[in-house]
Structure 1
Amino acid sequence: MRDIMTKAKWLLTISLFFVSSTGLQAETDDTSPAFELVVLGDSGGIQDGNLSAFLLRSVTEPNYVALDAGTLVNGINQSVRQGAFDDLAIVDDDKWGKAGSILRHHVKGYLISHAHLDHINGMLVASPEDSKKSIYAIPSVNTMIGETYFNGKAWANFSDRGIPPLLNKYHVVDLLLGKTAPIANTALHVTAFSLSHPVESSAFVIEHGDDIFVYFGDTGPDIVEKQDKLDAIWTYLAKQVKHKKLRGVIIETSFENERPHNLLFGHLTPELLMGELRSLATKIGGEKPLQGLNVVISHIKYTLAKNVDPRANITKQLDDGNDLGLNIIIPKQGQKLLF
């Protein structure tokens, strides 16, 4: 067991990390974990069975919200096999197996960052056997989902708005930017922010009491995109952490540092991510304000090219550039994490 022993004025101190059969676990020296995260899909790009998707819940309840849904059923099955749900009191349903019960009874809604297929495909293909629940997204994302997928051509309209016939399985909820809304059938609340991407993407600040967890969809850096969208999120978080605990962040790092800025297509590199997090640190102020912050890296682009390992290269570049004292986590599909 590795003793981390780090402190920060504004976030939970993380002290012990260890690897178990269910994944990376975290213990704290002053407070028990507040959130559980299950990694359904950790990659970006073309690996269709392992695309961006996570399940998040407060440890005080058995109900999850999905953070994107690029891979859903395969991710749940992989997580079941790795024991990620062993501590969950799963609803006993005579009709459905374990994965079906988790999806139908314990996943209470979807937070969809944007409507690219690698972030929504799992929800679409699982919809015939899914249960009724809500899709939460900013208005442009919900509009694109309806026009592109739930249109009776690409896919039947399982939602309650848009092109008829409406199957009314999914209730579509528009999240207004910067306005906090409840996530139905959970104790969680969410505030959405816009991100720069070829189609509008979004970030979600998720709260349970005084605890915060942040999920970023695909995003380009402000220095490239020139829209200051990440700056708006950093400003918001810098205010929030004065009286709340930031338990963790999921944020993408799609490409290696060598990727030219004109070929980023609304994504981050390790160097650009560190630059953005330094902006957050500056807004918070003080010495090492991000020391010990859990940063989960998502959307590393998978490739079929020979003798190329983007995950290893990006991991090294992140470690080499980590002058903020971050606890960088490279997740694996099927893993459970506690924050």
Structure 2
Amino acid sequence: MFWSDAMARGARRSSERGSGNKFLLHVTPYRASSRLCCRLARLQGVARRWRGGQAPYASPFRSRRDKLQIFSSLGVMQGRGFPRALLPALLLLSAAAPPPSAFEVVALGVNGGVEEPTSAYHIVAHGNRSGVMCDVGTLASGLDRAVRKGRYPGADSRGQVMDSIAAYLITHAHLDHVAGLVLASPDDTQKDIMSLPQVNQALADHYFNWVAWPNMGDRGPSPHIGKYHYKDLEPGGTPEPIAGTGMTVTAYPLSHGGVTSTAFLLRSGPDAFLCLGDTGPDAVEHATNLEDLWRAVAPLVRQGRLRGMLIEVSYPDPVPAARLYGHLTPMWLNTELQTLRRMTQDDARMRALPILVTHIKPSGAARSSRRSVERQLEKIGFFKFMIAEEGRKYAL
């Protein structure tokens, strides 16, 4: 079942079938007083506190105070007629409450060319004001729409949000991934552009060169305006701190039809988020870049530390291999994710991993490419797919 459309339906159907969460099915007939609800909310809050930043399956009793709060809440519920037999189940259910989000991702652009807005994702680590952009196919107009939709509480203009962006992470230099950066640069503030060396060189040679656009960078044809500092990342190297964001980044090369693209692994404390640029499947690209990437992130999935990933699906199936042009379809995405699944050896973790699908290329055909991709991903069924939506904020 497709995750983004079916969360509520799935919960309702599990009750109707008698499978799924039987504990909730049994609890619902009991009348809950307002005091009981408050106690339950407090219990869930305690569970979230000890879960935050802790290793999976660690002891819930982080402190004596938390332990007393839990059993005090359970005692009150039992006094209200709550069945004694369900108390252990309630404790286990609350202990399994998901940890707070580690990253917020605002999708400023999600399309794969032809139609705007194109690829642009604003990523902020929990508790921080400053963040990064992963690709900048759109920027000014995307921020305008996101501000109007209330995605940035307290901000009433795009300039306020732009000022909080510490760095641009550019996966590759194709126009649908950098146009927003180039066009917004006159109104921008000083920032780092953090990319693989060949990507930074392409930006300096082909965009900020005094021919296509004034040289806003600190390399390439003189004079250098110097608004942007190119910072080359070593492929698969030591995580590089991103000043002011509470995050580090590691870059992994991808194969994109003869062009080097990038996957950025962002880390904040124990948590990580993966942002992939355009990529073809290893089998078609005659490469091992995705296999190498999966090997690097499999331990994070197994430990429950990878909070999600952005990955492209440009076309619905079927597409001949010769016409993929360095992109994925639902079939090829499934093939690659099955490789990660085998490396992870933890189906529960893989099922729970949010996978934001991006870069769907609009089609002139009567049937929507987006809807076709969505239906094909539904049929795969195993993974937690979500089609990225422009202007939406994701808490991961």
Q: Give TM-score scaled by structure 1 length.
A: 0.87
Which residue number in structure 2 is paired with residue 133 of structure 1? 191
Out of 89, 92, 102, the residue aligned to residue 34 of structure 1 is 102
2:119 maps to amino acid = S
Which of 120, 123, 133 is equivalent to 1:56? 123
> How far has the Cα of 1:244 moved from its partner?
5.5
Verify the 8 A CA contact 1:281 1:289 in the aligned structure 2: no
Indicate if the aligned counterparts of 1:53 and 1:69 stay in contact, CA closer than 8 A.
yes
User: In the aligned structure 2, how far is the partner of 1:310 from the partner of 1:286?
Assistant: 32
CA distance in 1, matches of 2:346, 2:327: 29
- Matched residues in 2 for 1:201 and 1:270: separation? 20
Aligned residues with identical type, % of pairs: 36
| Counterpart check, 1:328 vs 2:388 | no
- Residue 292 (structure 2) pairs with residue 232 (structure 1): yes
Higher normalized contact order (CA 8 Å, seq sep 6+, divided by chain length): 1
Deviations 1:253-272 (A, max 9, x none): 00111111100010000010
Distance 1:245 1:72 in 2: 29
Q: Retained in 2: the 8 A contact 1:44–1:254? A: yes
Stretches of 4+ aligned residues off by more than 4 angstroms: 3-6
Counterparts in 2 of 1:12 and 1:65: CA distance versus 1, 3 Å: farther
1:84 is displaced (CA, Å) by 1.0
The residue aligned with 1:118 is 176
Gaps of 5+ in 2: 1-6, 12-19, 22-54, 58-95
- Cα 1:272–1:306 change in 2 (3 A) is closer
Change (3 A) 1:50 1:12: farther
Q: Secondary structure at the match of 2:351?
A: coil
- With over 3 angstroms needed to count, the CA separation of the structure-2 counterparts of 1:151 and 1:295, relative to structure 1, is same
Matched, 1:215 2:237: no
Distance in 1 (alpha carbons) for counterparts of 2:326 and 2:376: 19
Query: Out of 55, 66, 82, which is 2:133 matched to?
Result: 66
Given that residues 212 and 244 in structure 1 are in contact (C-alpha distance below 8 angstroms), is that contact kept between their aligned partners in structure 2?
no
State the AA in 2 paired with 1:195: L
| Residue in structure 2 matched with residue 163 of structure 1 by the alignment | 221
Please give the alpha-carbon distance, in whole angstroms, between the structure 2 residues aligned to 1:216 and 1:115: 14
Tell me if structure 1 keeps the 8 A contact 2:304–2:349.
no
Alpha-carbon separation, structure 2, partners of 1:30 and 1:217: 28
Mapped to 1, the partners of 2:247 and 2:304 lie a distance apart of: 15
Q: What amino acid does structure 1 have at the position aligned with 2:109?
A: G
Q: Does 1:257 pair with 2:317?
A: yes
Structure 1: segments with no counterpart, 5+ residues: 14-27, 91-96
Structure 1: which amino acid aligns with 2:110? D
Please show how residues 78-157 of structure 1 align to structure 2 within 5 Å: 78-86=145-153, 89-90=154-155, 98-103=157-162, 105-157=163-215
| CA distance in 2 between partners of 1:289 and 1:211 (Å) | 14
Contact 2:280 2:325 in 1 (8 A): yes
Tell me how far apart the structure 1 counterparts of residues 282 and 56 of structure 2 sit (CA, whole Å).
28
Does the CA contact (< 8 Å) of 1:12 and 1:247 recur in 2? no
Quote the RMSD (CA, aligned, Å).
1.9
User: CA offsets, 1:110-165, max 9 Å, x none?
Assistant: 00000000000000000000010100000000011111101100011101111111
Q: Which has the higher helix share?
A: 2
C-alpha distance in 2 between matches for 1:189 and 1:259: 37
Q: Report which of the two structures shows the higher radius of gyration computed on alpha carbons.
A: 2
Partner of 1:17: none
Q: Name which of structure 1's ranges 178-187 and 285-294 shifts more when overlaid on structure 2.
A: 285-294
Match of 1:319 among 373, 378, 389: 378
CA contact (8 A) 1:12 1:245 kept: no
Q: What is the aligned partner in structure 1 of residue 247 from structure 2? A: 188
Per the alignment, residue 49 of structure 2 pairs with none
Please say which of residues 281-290 and 177-186 is displaced more in the overlay: 281-290
Q: How far does the alpha carbon of each residue in 1:204-263 deviate from its partner, in whole angstroms, 9 at most, with x for none?
A: 000000101000000000111111100000000113344461100000000111111100
Aligned equivalents of 1:100 and 1:181: distance in 2?
26
Indicate the structure with greater strand content: 1
Q: Which moved more, 1:237-246 or 1:67-76?
A: 237-246
Q: C-alpha offsets along residues 252-307 of structure 1, whole Å, 9 cap, x if unaligned?
A: 0001111111000100000100110000010011444401110001100013x141
- Give the total of aligned pairs: 308
Separation in 1, partners of 2:244, 2:225: 21
SS in structure 2 at match of 1:196: strand
| TM-score, length basis structure 2 | 0.75
SS at match of 2:234: coil
Partner of 1:94: none
Instruction: Pick one of 111, 125, 135 that aligns with 1:43.
Output: 111
CA distance in 2, matches of 1:148, 1:232: 30
